[in-house]
Amino acid sequence: MSNLKIYNTLARDKQTFVPIEAGKVRMYVCGMTIYDYCHIGHARMMMAFDVMYRWLMASGYEVTYARNITDIDDKIIKRAVENGETISQLTTRFTQYMDEDTQALGILPPTLVPRATQYVPQMLALIEKLESKNLAYQGEDGDVNYAVRNFHNYGRLSGKSLDDLRAGERVDVNTGKRDPLDFVLWKASKESEPEEVKWDSKWGKGRPGWHIECSAMCSALLGEHFDIHGGGADLQFPHHENEIAQSEGAFGRPPVNYWVHNGFVRVDNEKMSKSLGNFFTIRDVLKKYDAEVVRFFILRAHYRSPLNYSDAHLDDARGALTRLYTALDGVADDGSALDWQGEQARRFAEAMDDDFNTPLAVAALFELASELNKSKSPRVAAQLKALAGVLGLLQRSPQAFLQASVGEVDGAGDAAIADAIAQRAAAKKARNFAESDRIRAELLAAGIILEDKPDGTTNWRRA
């Protein structure tokens, strides 16, 4: 197995990864609340754990990776009512859109994709267990709440004491709560809510709170104690803090060995979010940029670092990825297996074992590309393609990438480009160099770069 170290938010340090069961990893990641299109912040989160999933498998582990779908939530109910549709219709549609977006970005499907509405019985059983341990109570308003002050470890993940948290008023005061820090486990139904979000329980009709959903799903699928729990940095508090309180409170042991959080996407030094209105949907970005360029852009930053979003950074990523594909262009790889003993492969592995350091891993790819540019070696080409494949990169033919069009591209299509190249070849043969230069300039203005060789123009690429 590997020498992997992972930054554990709970320990606030990088720790050597030791799985609970030798050779196997169980990982749970908090996924999407499905009521709208996914934005680049969501892509960054799913990409971060996709890379971890890929590297764990490349390191020889058998990985069970669960990433949930939250398909019952206040925002979902509100949007469905506004649209005049059922909750199921709304969530089914946007789940399909999410799957299309993640597939485009090369994000592998998780092993398990639980939907919250499928696990309501497990949630109710967990709440009953908490109630039996004096960690849950029903308020006067009918909601069932978690009694935070009865759990001695609360605040450990966020690093805040109960008094700090209360002073900061991080939880809304609710008249049905004994303490402002208490959070809801089961929400009593309201007359105005659709019938499809009302489940029977010993506390009356209602629906689960957000936090209990994940505790129930991960324990049902991965057990009461598993290896890795991940999500965005914004989930550290209160969501993951509350998950610990619920799961440890119910089962009497810490539920997770390694808590992992990815950094935010930022625009003009502000966090990208729907509430701020500065978000870009994956779909809108893919109208302008090739999906692999977007993937490469995200992977060039370490998953825990802020990711600064801009067209300039995406343009730079496109240029860099083009250099890698250009190195492969014209060199047929020999199909040999990835050799982990190669110098760049060793550096790649060392980087990935150091808390999934993709920027250093990508640097190793450029070292191989530089070597390939000099040697034109089929063996080096195979090594570069195989190593990049670990990150989900460079799996197309070079020409497929270099000639790919994205969205509304000015200029001609492939057939018209081929026709223009033929006309230019005829002009050169007739020694009409002015016409040859005119055609080349016209294509360049349309974003088409010709690659002349002694035997003529055989290749072209988009700028």
CA–CA dist 138, 150 (Å, integer): 15
Beta strand pairing status for 136-138 and 144-146? antiparallel
Is residue 38 part of an annotated ligand binding site? no
Cα four-point dihedral sign 241, 243, 248, 249 = positive
Is residue 214 part of an annotated ligand binding site? yes
- Inter-residue contact 166 to 181 (CB < 8 Å): yes
Tokens of 319: 């240029």
CA–CA dist 380, 331 (Å, integer): 9
Q: What are the DSSP calls for 287-334, one per residue?
A: TTS-HHHHHHHHHTS-TTS-EE--HHHHHHHHHHHHHHHHHHTT----
For residue 415, count other CB atoms closer than 10 A to its CB: 8
- Inter-residue contact 130 to 136 (CB < 8 Å): yes
Q: Which one-letter amino acid corresponds to residue 295?
A: R
With CA atoms as reference, report the closest residue to 190 among 71, 81, 115. Answer: 81
Is residue 75 part of an annotated ligand binding site? no
Q: Which one-letter amino acid corresponds to residue 310?
A: S
Is residue 30 part of an annotated ligand binding site? yes
- Inter-residue contact 365 to 324 (CB < 8 Å): yes
Fill in the DSSP letter of residue 240: I
Tokens of 359: 């920027």
Tokens of 410: 């000015």
Binding residues for ATP: 274
Binding residues for Zn(2+): 30, 214, 239, 243
Binding residues: 30, 214, 239, 243, 274
